[in-house]
């Protein structure tokens, strides 16, 4: 088709793409082209702005490597990751869900750790934390044999892969629920932290006068064949950033009850003040799949 007017371009592209054999691929690409063309028309995108956008996307890729994923970070910071999560969980977005975005810091092969064991693998500041968790299905029955990945940042605000002071796999562990559907671990109470701001996502946040903080949280990934893999986070209640998470990950269901305790801890290794977290995860029947790890 020879293009006569700007309006013709969209139809020409849709027609050129019409031979795609994979129906879902075709549906997604058709919609993408219609929306991105409509977007360019709506904002009357200039050539200079288009060039800046191309540069921006290229930088997202250039800054993505084995230990950092700027593309995921960008998706998170514009709310796309949370939107996709909510569209695909909780009865396709119609009811509340216990799921949350994966974030850019999940690693495969976290060290297997016995129930009650510690995921503090090198000296780490922060109040000792004891987490006692239950996993059940929608009928309230306990789920045994669920593999649970746990990971969180140090109270200093960095994941081990970002911080030379922490050993490999610090504050990461893999647990298996017992016959009563329980798993438990020791760690330190996490703190809030800023997402990385040295790349293009940081440029965007500054231009929008947004702060870069996430409220303190612990990440969980629960896997059991026959159940939809549950990827989620449990946030520290009363955190100052609960209402303004830079990546829009907080739902009411995910605010945990992190209790400050001064009674003797049920662990001989904890003295003085400590913190407890009791939390129940509910898994829905479905397919157990694992996401592609954002970093290695
Ligand atoms: C995180 O919680 O690890 C995270 C999520 C989204 C962007 C950056 C960090
Ligand atoms: Fe996190």
- How close is the Cα of 253 to the center of ligand 1, in Å? 18
For residue 184, is pLDDT > 70? yes
For residue 94, is pLDDT > 80? no
Q: Is 124 helix (H, G, I), strand (E, B) or coil?
A: coil
Could you tell which of 71, 100, 154, 195 is best to mutate to test the pocket of ligand 1, judged by most ligand atoms within 8 Å of the CB?
195
Per-residue pLDDT, 128: 96
String of DSSP letters for 50-78:
HHHHHHHHHHHHHT-BTTB-HHHHHHHHT
Which uninterrupted H or E stretch holds 82?
Answer: helix 80-88
For residue 294, is pLDDT > 90? no
Per-residue pLDDT, 9: 97
Return d(Cα 192, Cα 105) in angstroms, integer. Answer: 15
Closest C-alpha to ligand 1, atom 5: 103
Q: What is the mean pLDDT of the chain?
A: 94
Q: Using one digit for the tens of pLDDT, what is the confidence trace for 187-197?
A: 999 999 999 99
Ligand 1 binding pocket (C-beta < 6 A) is 73, 76, 103-105, 195, 214, 247
Q: Using one digit for the tens of pLDDT, what is the confidence trace for 241-274?
A: 999 999 999 998 899 999 999 999 888 888 889 9
Ligand nearest to the CA of 72: 1
Provide the 8-state DSSP code for 44: T
Cβ neighbours, 10 Å, residue 84? 12
For residue 71, is pLDDT > 80? yes
């Amino acid at each position: 088709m020879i293009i006569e007017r700007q309006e013709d371009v969209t139809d020409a592209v849709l027609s050129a793409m019409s031979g795609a054999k994979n129906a879902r691929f075709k549906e997604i690409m058709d919609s993408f082209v219609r929306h991105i063309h409509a977007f360019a028309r709506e904002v009357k995108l200039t050539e200079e702005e288009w060039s800046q956008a191309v540069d921006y996307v290229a930088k997202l890729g250039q800054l993505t490597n084995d230990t950092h994923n700027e593309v995921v970070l960008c998706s998170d910071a514009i709310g796309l990751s949370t939107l996709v999560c909510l569209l695909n969980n909780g009865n396709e977005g119609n009811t509340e869900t216990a799921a949350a975005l994966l974030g850019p810091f999940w690693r495969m092969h976290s060290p297997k750790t016995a129930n009650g064991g510690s995921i503090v693998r090198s000296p780490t500041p922060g109040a000792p934390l004891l987490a006692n968790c239950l996993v059940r299905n929608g009928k309230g029955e306990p789920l045994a044999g669920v593999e649970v990945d746990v990971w969180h940042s140090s109270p200093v605000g960095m994941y081990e892969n970002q911080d030379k002071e922490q050993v490999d796999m610090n504050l990461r562990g893999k647990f298996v629920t017992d016959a009563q559907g329980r798993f438990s671990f020791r760690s330190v109470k996490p703190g809030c932290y800023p997402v990385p701001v040295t790349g293009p996502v940081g440029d965007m946040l500054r231009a929008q006068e947004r702060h870069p903080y996430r409220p303190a949280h612990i990440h969980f990934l629960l896997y059991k064949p026959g159940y939809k893999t549950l990827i989620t986070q449990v946030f520290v209640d009363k955190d100052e950033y609960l209402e303004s998470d830079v990546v829009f990950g907080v739902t009411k269901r995910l605010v945990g009850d992190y209790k400050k305790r001064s009674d003797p801890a049920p662990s001989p290794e904890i003295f003085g003040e400590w913190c407890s977290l009791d939390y129940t995860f509910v898994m829905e029947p479905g397919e157990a799949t694992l996401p592609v790890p954002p970093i290695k």
